[in-house]
Structure formats: structure tokens, C-alpha cells
Amino acid sequence: MRTDKSILIKICILLYAVILVLFIGRVLFFTDVPAFYNAVGEEASHDYSAEWIMESGESVDLKDISAGGMGGSYSVSKALPGKMLETDSVCLSTSNLKFDVYVEDDLLYSYDTRENLTGNGDGVTYHMIGLGVKDEGKTIRIEAQTVLPNERGGRVNEVYFGPEKQFRYYLQRNNFVAEALSVIMVIIGLTVTAIFLMVYRTTKMLRSLWALGLSAVLFGIWSLCDTGMPQLVSGTTYACREIVYMMPHLTVFPMIYFVNYFTRSKRRIYLYLSFAVSVLSFGWQLFSRFFLDAQIHMMSGAIYFSFVSELVLLIVLLVDNELVCRKKKLSSNLRHFYVGAVILITTACIDIIRYAVGTKVSIGRGTWFRFGLTLFFLFMALQIFAWWTAEKTSLERDRFINRLLQYVTEMDDPESKLNKVLEYLCTELNAERAYIFEENRDGSFDNTYEYCAKGITPEIDHLKGIPYEGTIDAWYREYKKGGHVLIYDLEAYRSVSENMYQILKPQGIRTLVTGPLVLEGKYIGFFGVDNPPSERMKEIPEIMKLLMFFLSEMISQRDHQKRLVEYSFHDPLTGVGNRRAIREFEEEELDTSRSYGLIMCDINGLKAVNDNKGHDAGDELIKTAALCLTKVFSAENVYRMGGDEFAVYTYEDSREIFLQRIVKLKAELSEKGVNMAIGYSFADGGDPDYNARRLETDNKMYEEKRNFYRGENDRRTSGKKNEGD
């Protein structure tokens, strides 16, 4: 299914809002906020872990000893305060410990664990043992024993004396950061999963989002249970313990699955190995628990093996990706992932060091690791956003170009295509004006094509001869650096190029995007759009990069077509019009309603030049004759009919002026040493029968030519005379 971007954003915001309300509601409705924030300040005065007396008379701190370290059990006692309140309690947080509490010799509280999926242990358990005024000054005794085999483990994490409610607030306040970070991980995972379910999954990136979402949710739930807060709020001691010890094997595979799809290699072997490690580690724990009667708590090796193996596999995957990128000279697309991974490893090391040198309690640890893990998933979310944005830009760019191609497919004329492209570009980008500037032979630039939105004044007639030095050169330098020029604020751009500012400002330009036109590696001009909306500015450069080649190719086709037209209507030797050109002129352009003159010319002696001096000399003679004609009548009025014959059409106001031009032509020919037979006719006031005029002119020319070849210029004898000479 397809989901509009705005709807997707609204759903994600709603999801965040619901989870945030639930989280804040738990704090507000189940917590006395002032007492919650005062709990930490009262920690020292309510800490009841020190100065317990063992049977040997030794004074100990309960948080520093374990039943396993004392041979499997211990007994400690302590005198209660001389003044107490009815709300006072001794509150304990224990791990893998069964114990009895006595006041004097009366049994006040007894606790034992029960067998569960992980063994006999219970992880973090909270106990609130109520006392009262009647117990003032009496001795309280705790007889504790580990529940794990081989007399291992079993400890008291926290001992608190005071109101039970205050103890709860103290624990919540002390673990608030770790709990919040865990909730954030769950939110990130649910958001990614929601995106996966709602968007139209056209690519592997979108189709693999479920893996990242699942990994974030699993890590978040595991991290939340490890804080001890779910046990405190809901009392689900054994369920949380099973999550803490069994879930880690299931969290890493989805992450490797997701990352593998974004490497350049995309090797399935890593997925198979990661899945195998997860399943085998999880399966080995279950097998050991049910068939070997093992304690999951004591199987640290299996847990570490799973984590270390997955970590090594992930490192190998990334190294392999980098090698592939370098071999194929590609850039890695996991930049955000690397940053997140470095943060995660760093924070994990900080927590390991803190745990190694500090008090080894079961709760209140791992905050740095949770912080790193949260940032890791946030960076992955940023990576997704970067990929998604790039992908959407690429898809939109492709759709833009495809629609453009469809838009101009039916047009064969490059000129029409160029104008249509500018119209499409201006309309689709909501710009005010789209244009093309081309370089002239003198190095200046002209606005050659333009499309303006409705109500915008055209500028094409005013933007001619823009100099390169001091103006266009500023943009060319930017093209070489970044491939385009983006002006978000024309006033700010003034400091870059004052000359360009003075050209753009009168046109009412506020924002602008331009790109170069390139043919055979050389800039031939530029194109651009004026005043596109600011929200479209970032996507336009990608479109401009494609249009740069598209428009450049169109201009090349236009020039090629012009050359073909020129070749088909112009004589390749002399550059003047050919027989086809004069026929089209007579049929479509000749204005027979006004006075016009027609001249027919034929070079005398061309055969002798070709025979005696070669055809190259003959060609030079033809070009010289054409040059004389174009000098007097201009090139657009002269036509080579074939061989040594030329025709000229010219509009003149009177016969006298026409005859003066004939005289001038003969003088030019004489000066250049060219002898031509010339016939001419003048239609005073116009004459629609130009064929009759041509016949008359042609007859006069041939009459003059016959006169030239009589006697010594006779073609039959000129060759022998030349041989005799």
C-alpha cells in the first residue's frame, strides 16, 4: 500500500505521543513527584547496608558480600534504631538469594525462590519488610542462603530503612535514566516497524526495515527488564529474568540481517552464520536447562560466545564491505552506522571498566551501554532517513525525467524540444522563469531560449552580449567546484559577484539555480530557473545534473540539424545558396510585387584553367567569383546553379541603382582577374513571371559567353595555342 509522506509523519508523531503519555502517566499517577525527586538526596540517610554483624563478630556491608563467597550462606544481625515510626520498613533488593528475617527470635519474613526457565535463580527481587514502634531498639537478623548450585552467587543489592514508598521512589529515581533510555529504544523500534508496515516497499531498504525495528524493540525490552523496574512495578520477577538471560541471543541476528542488505557485497553467508549462532546458542541453553539440569545464570560462556561470535561476524561483514568498496572504487553507504557503532563500543567499554573497579551489584549498572545503544539506533534511524531521502530524490528525479521524455517524445525539431523542456522545467518546479544562455564566438553570452510563467516579463531581448570576464566567470568557477550554482538569497550573493548581482537584481530575482551546458568536456553555456520555491531548492540540483546532459545533447542535435540544413541549401565549395535554395526562394520567398533584379553569371575560361593548372586552381577561380558576387550583393542573395554558373536575386528601388551594381560587380571581377559572362534583367514595379525573367537573363548571359569564345578564345583552339606557347 502507498502512504502519503505527511500521513506517515502524523502517524509516527502520534505513536511517539501515545508512548510518551503512557510513560509520563506512569510517573505522574504512580509516583509522588516531590518524594520521587527527593529520594536521591535521602539515600545516604536511609542506606541500611553497613555495620551488619556476622556470627564471627565481624562488621560487614551487605552489598559487599555474597552467600556464595561466604560458603553458601551467612547470618548477620543489626540493632534497629531507638526511635521508629509505624511506616518504617527494612527494604531489600536481592538476587538469587533465599532468606529469613527475624526480629529478636520471631520470624518476621521468609522468602524462597522457585524453579523457572533459567533455573533456580530469580534475578532481581524486591522485598519490603514492615516494622513498627514495637520494634524500636530490637535486633534484626537475616539468615541468607544462595539458591544456585555449587554454593555460588546470592547477594543483597540494596538495603534501605524507612518508608516503603520512599524506597520505591529511590529505586525509580536511581534507575530513571536507564529506564528512559530503554523506553526510547522501544519507541525507535516501534516507529521503524510502523514505517515498514505503512510505506510502499519498493526497495530492499524498505523491505528490510522490519529487522531494524525488531532488533531495537528486543534490545529495548531486554534493557528495560535488566533495570529491575518492571519487577518493581508489576512483580513479574521470573518473566523478566527469563527475558534478561534468554533474549540476548535473539537480538543481534535482525541487526546483521538489516546491515547486510546495505553493504555492497550483500553476502548471504553472514545471514546464515548469524542465524546459526543465534539458534545454536539459544538451543544449547534450553537443552542444558532441561536435559542437563544446568542453571542458565551459570552459563556465562554460552551467552558470551553468542555475543562475541555475532560481534566478530559483524566486524568481518563490515571489513568485507570496505574491501569491496575499495576494490570497486565505491563509497561506503554505512557512514552513520560506523559512527553509531563506535559510540556503542566506547560506552560499552566505559561500563565494563566501571563494573570491574566498582561495586558489582545487579541493578543500577549499564547506563552508559544503554546510552550508547540508544544512540546507535538513533544513528541507524538517521541512516535510514538519509537512504530514504536519497532514494526518494532519485525516484522523483527519475519520474521527472521520464515525464519530461514523454513530454517531448513526439517532437522532432530540437528547437521545439528545447522550448518545451524549459516550459516543463519552469512549470514543474514552480519557478518564474527558465532559460538557456549560449556562448557567442566573441566569448560573450546571449539568452537564446526562455520560458516565463504567467505574469512574468520576458527578459530574452535584453540579455544579450553578457561578458564572461567579471560576470559569467564567477559561475563557471562554481560549476567546476560543485556542478551548479544555488542562490538562496540574492542579497547575500552580492558579496560573491557584484556584476552578476547588478544583472540579476533588476529582473526581480530572489532565488536561483543554474547549471552548465557541456559538450565534449567544454562549457558552451548554462541554463537555469529563477525564483523556485525554497522547499524545492535542495532537489533541483540533482535534476539539473541530468538536464545538463539532456539539454546539451539537444543543442548538439540542433546544431547538427542546422549544419545539415546548411549543407542541403548551400554550396559546400563557395558557401552561397545552391540550386535547391534558389528554387525554394523563388517558390516561397520571392516578393514579385516589388521591383527586383535577376543576374545570371558564367565563368569564362574555367575549362582551360582546370586543364592547364589543375582542378584546385579551378576551384579557387570559382570561389573568387563567388566572393566578388557576395561582396556586391551579399551572400544570402547569391546562388551557385552548378559548375561555373551563378544566379543573383536583388531587390532595388530603381533600374539605375541596379545597373550601378552591375558596373560595380564587373569592376570587382576585373580586379580579381575573373572573366564572367553576365546576363541580367530588371522587373521595374515587380513581375510575377520570374521564369520569363530567368529565361531572358539566361539568353543574355549565353549571348555574352558566345561572344567571348569567338576567335582566339575559341575553346576548340585555345588548348592548342596554349600548347604552342
What would the pLDDT profile of 463-506 be if each residue is shown by its tens digit?
999 999 988 999 999 888 888 889 988 898 888 888 889 989 98
Burial class for 218, CB neighbours closer than 10 Å (0-12, 13-18, 19+): buried
Query: What is the spatial distance between Cα 288 and Cα 587, in angstroms, rounded to a whole number?
Result: 102
Query: What is the spatial distance between Cα 365 and Cα 351, in angstroms, rounded to a whole number?
Result: 7
Length of the chain: 725
pLDDT tens per residue, range 139-183 = 999 999 998 887 788 899 889 998 888 888 888 777 878 888 888
Give the three cell numbers for residue 483: 556542478
Give the mean pLDDT of 531-537.
83
Residues in Cβ contact with 497 at an 8 Å cutoff, skipping those fewer than 6 apart? 471, 474, 475
List strands edge to edge, sheet with 124-130: 124-130, 88-95, 155-163
CATH among 3.30.1330.10, 3.40.50.280, 3.30.450.40, 3.40.50.300 for 414-567: 3.30.450.40
Which class is 579-724 in CATH?
alpha beta
Question: DSSP 3-state assignment of 329?
Answer: coil
Q: Where are the domains of the chain?
A: 43-174, 176-386, 414-567, 579-724
Q: For the stretch 516-534, what's the b/e string if a residue is b when 16 or more beta carbons lie within 10 angstroms of its beta carbon? A: bbbeeeebbbbbbbbbbee
> How open is the CA angle 12-347-281, to the nearest 5 degrees?
80
Q: How confident is the model at residue 358 (pLDDT cuts 50, 70, 90)?
A: low
Q: For the stretch 49-74, what's the b/e string if a residue is b when 16 or more beta carbons lie within 10 angstroms of its beta carbon? A: beebbeeeeeebebbebbbbebebbb
Strand pairing report for 512-519 and 485-487? antiparallel
Query: What is the spatial distance between Cα 102 and Cα 121, in angstroms, rounded to a whole number?
Result: 23
- Kindly tell me the number of DSSP H helices and DSSP E strands found in the chain: 25, 18
The answer, yes or no, to whether residue 638 has pLDDT greater than 80, is: yes
Q: What is the DSSP string of 12-29?
A: HHHHHHHHHHHHHHHHHH
Residues in Cβ contact with 426 at an 8 Å cutoff, skipping those fewer than 6 apart? 432, 433, 434, 451, 452, 453, 529
**Amino acid 36: pLDDT:** 45
Higher-scoring residue by pLDDT: 589, 234? 589
Give the mean pLDDT of 348-370.
66
Amino acid occupying residue 385: F
Classify residue 113 as left (phi > 0), alpha (psi -120 to 50) or beta.
Answer: beta
C-beta of residue 121 within 8 angstroms of C-beta of residue 96: yes
The answer, yes or no, to whether residue 547 has pLDDT greater than 70, is: yes
pTM to 2 decimal places: 0.57
The answer, yes or no, to whether residue 108 has pLDDT greater than 80, is: yes
Report CA dihedral (303, 309, 313, 315) to the nearest 10 degrees: 90
Give which of 494, 438, 445 is closest to 469, Cα–Cα.
Answer: 445
Question: DSSP 3-state assignment of 128?
Answer: strand
Query: What is the spatial distance between Cα 545 and Cα 484, in angstroms, rounded to a whole number?
Result: 8
**Amino acid 60: pLDDT:** 93
The number of beta carbons lying within 10 Å of the beta carbon of residue 478 is 17
The answer, yes or no, to whether residue 375 has pLDDT greater than 90, is: no
Q: How far is CA 359 from each of CA 173, 413, 433, rounded to the nearest angstrom?
A: 19, 82, 71
Give which of 626, 634, 639, 672 is closest to 651, Cα–Cα.
Answer: 634
Give the three cell numbers for residue 94: 536481592
Give which of 578, 486, 576, 606 is closest to 534, Cα–Cα.
Answer: 486
C-beta of residue 33 within 8 angstroms of C-beta of residue 27: yes
Give the three cell numbers for residue 327: 576494490
The answer, yes or no, to whether residue 39 has pLDDT greater than 70, is: no
The answer, yes or no, to whether residue 691 has pLDDT greater than 60, is: yes
**Amino acid 645: pLDDT:** 93
Looking at the domain that runs over 43-174, which CATH code has it been given?
A: 2.60.120.260
pLDDT tens per residue, range 64-79 = 899 988 989 999 999 9
Question: DSSP 3-state assignment of 576?
Answer: coil
Q: How confident is the model at residue 260 (pLDDT cuts 50, 70, 90)?
A: confident
Give the mean pLDDT of 189-213.
73
Q: How far is CA 652 from each of CA 421, 493, 633, 683, rounded to the nearest angstrom?
A: 43, 55, 11, 10
Query: What is the spatial distance between Cα 101 and Cα 241, in angstroms, rounded to a whole number?
Result: 24
The answer, yes or no, to whether residue 337 has pLDDT greater than 80, is: no
Question: DSSP 3-state assignment of 564?
Answer: helix
